[in-house]
Structure formats: structure tokens, C-alpha cells
């Protein structure tokens, strides 16, 4: 097992892409700290599924947009697990609309969660990575952060910001043997994209060279590669998992 005994923190780890990453990591022997915005039945059920399959997985309810909650949660995780080897900054939201119709909250919520949240979470763990002189940080960006998208100015800006954050972390911590890479998913079938109408989904699918939507597992495969030693000489990269959407 390639992640045997490794401790992985995954934000938004109880559903969608984050859950698929958690499952994939658990299959490879990782111990999991999953951060979710809300507790409740669905999040607990996700954790139960992982533990029923023999994984060690714990749930931490935390709004990553709140720096004080992030600090407290990181302290709890470090007390429970004693360290961290892998961080996946996956939690994210959309509030799509054309620019004049975006409310101030639509703009700040998306930047606060997608960009500032990832920075807060990483800041809370970076000293622990430095002390261990090892680590892999994986940030979930989006192809939209690379190519832009009508109706997603706020979201695209947050995801482009994640790319700058990733490259800066790679430069700041490379000498400490801490790698940082970003994944840019295309159109992946999760709750986030279920909000789109069947007509829009069909139209988007037609334009994809691989002719299908991605699955959370497609993204999880790359996350596993970036988390483990097989990618030991890769840092500062942005890798698309998009079925050719942005060729």
C-alpha cells in the first residue's frame, strides 16, 4: 500500500471529489482527517462507510472560511493524529451569475471559501510539515481558473488564485522537501455540477473530446499519484483532469 500509515487531511472530504480522494487514500492505507462544513447524517454516513471498510477516519466540522475555526480544528487534528503527511485542499463552492448580478456575498463567499480557506488551512499545518521535513500538498483548482468561464468570474478568480498559491508554496517549501501541486478538474459529476440543467450538461458533454463527464474517481487517481512517492520530483505543477476540455 503506497500510503501506509500516512496521515491525510482532506477538506470537503465527505462527498464528491473529496470523498473519492478519501476512499482512494484509505484503500492505500492512509489515516484520514476529514473536514466538512456541516456535520449531520450525510457526513457521518460517509465517515462510517470508510471506517466500516477498515479505515481510520475522523470527521471535523469546520468552516474553512473562518480562520479561528481553522486554527482550532488543526490543533484538534494534530492532537488526535500527532502530525500530517498529506493535505488536500478540496473544499469549494460556486455562486454563478453574470457579473452585474453577482451580489457582494456571492463574490466574497466564493473567494473566502475557495481561496482564503485553502490558505488558512495550509497556514495552520505548514509548520508541522516543516518539522517533519516532508509532505505533499494538493490543491484542487479548476480548468475554469486556467481558461475562464462566462458566469463564473468569482469562481474562476478564486481557482486562478489557487494556482498562484500552489506555485508560491512550491517555491517557498521545496527546500524543506514539501511538494505542492494543483489539480484542475474539468466537468466532474458531483453535487456541484448536478445543479446544471440536463440540456446544459448534454451540450457540455458534446464538446468534450473524451465524450463523457469525469468521475470523482478520475480525479482521485491523480490525487493518489501526487500524494505518494511516485511523484517525488514533481512540484509546482497544475495538472488537468478534464477529458480534453481545455486542449
Residues annotated as catalytic (active site), given as ranges: 155
CA distance 92 to 111: 9
Closest separation in Å from C-beta 63 to ligand NAD: 4
| Residue 235 binds ligand NAD (CB under 6 A) | no
Min CB(213)–ligand NAD separation in Å: 8
Answer yes or no whether residue 228 interacts with ligand NAD by CB under 6 A.
Answer: no
Size of the site for ligand NAD (CB under 6 A): 29
Stretch that binds ligand NAD, among 22-30, 56-64, 75-83, 223-231 (CB under 6 A): 56-64
Report in angstroms how near the CB of residue 211 gets to ligand NAD at its nearest. 16
Minimal distance in Å, beta carbon 114 to ligand NAD?
A: 6
Q: What does each C-alpha distance from 146 to 63, 121, 160, 189 come to in angstroms?
A: 26, 23, 6, 20
Helix axes 118-132, 153-173, angle to 10 degrees: 10
Q: Could you give phi then psi for residue 10, rounded to 5 degrees? A: -125, 120
Cα–Cα distance for residue pair 181/186, rounded to 1 Å: 16
Cα end-to-end distance, the chain, whole Å: 34
34 is a site residue for ligand NAD (CB under 6 A): no
- Largest CA-CA distance found in the chain, in angstroms, rounded: 51
Q: Which is nearer to ligand NAD, 17 or 30 (CB)?
A: 17
The contact mask relative to ligand NAD for 75-114 (x = CB under 6 A, - = no) is ---------------xxxx-------------------x-
Question: Interface with ligand NAD includes 10 (CB under 6 A)?
Answer: no
154 binds ligand NAD per the rule CB under 6 A: no
Contact between 140 and 92 under an 8 Å Cβ cutoff? The reply is yes
**124 to 143: interface string for ligand NAD, x by CB under 6 A:** ----------------x-x-
14 vs 122, beta carbon nearer ligand NAD? 14
Distance separating alpha carbons of residues 91 and 4, to the nearest angstrom: 24
Measured CA distances, 11 to 60, 103, 216 (Å): 9, 26, 15
Site for ligand NAD in 185-204 (CB under 6 A): 185, 187-188, 190-193
Residues at the site binding ligand NAD, with contacts judged by CB under 6 A: 11-12, 14-18, 35-37, 62-65, 90-93, 113, 117, 140, 142, 185, 187-188, 190-193
Amino acid at each position: 500500500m503506497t500510503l501506509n500509515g500516512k496521515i491525510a487531511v482532506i477538506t470537503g472530504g465527505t462527498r464528491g471529489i473529496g470523498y473519492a480522494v478519501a476512499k482512494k487514500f484509505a484503500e492505500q492505507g492512509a489515516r484520514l482527517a476529514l473536514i466538512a462544513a456541516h456535520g449531520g447524517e450525510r457526513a457521518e454516513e460517509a465517515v462510517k462507510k470508510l471506517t466500516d471498510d477498515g479505515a481510520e477516519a475522523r470527521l471535523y466540522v469546520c468552516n474553512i472560511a473562518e480562520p479561528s475555526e481553522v486554527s482550532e480544528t488543526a490543533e484538534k487534528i494534530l492532537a488526535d493524529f500527532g502530525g500530517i503527511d498529506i493535505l488536500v485542499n478540496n473544499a469549494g463552492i460556486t455562486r454563478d451569475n453574470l457579473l452585474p448580478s453577482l451580489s457582494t456575498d456571492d463574490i466574497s463567499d466564493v473567494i473566502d471559501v475557495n481561496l482564503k480557506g485553502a490558505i488558512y488551512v495550509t497556514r495552520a499545518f505548514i509548520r508541522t510539515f516543516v518539522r517533519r521535513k516532508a509532505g505533499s500538498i494538493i490543491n484542487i483548482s479548476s480548468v475554469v481558473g486556467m481558461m475562464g468561464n462566462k458566469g463564473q468570474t468569482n469562481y474562476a478568480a478564486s481557482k486562478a488564485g489557487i494556482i498562484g498559491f500552489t506555485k508560491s508554496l512550491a517555491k517557498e517549501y521545496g527546500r524543506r522537501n514539501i511538494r505542492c501541486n494543483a489539480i484542475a478538474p474539468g466537468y466532474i459529476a458531483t453535487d456541484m455540477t448536478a445543479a446544471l440543467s440536463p440540456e446544459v450538461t448534454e451540450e457540455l458533454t458534446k464538446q468534450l473530446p473524451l465524450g463523457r463527464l469525469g468521475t470523482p474517481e478520475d480525479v482521485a487517481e491523480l490525487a493518489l499519484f501526487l500524494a505518494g512517492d511516485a511523484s517525488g520530483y514533481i512540484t509546482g505543477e497544475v495538472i488537468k483532469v478534464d477529458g480534453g476540455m481545455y486542449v
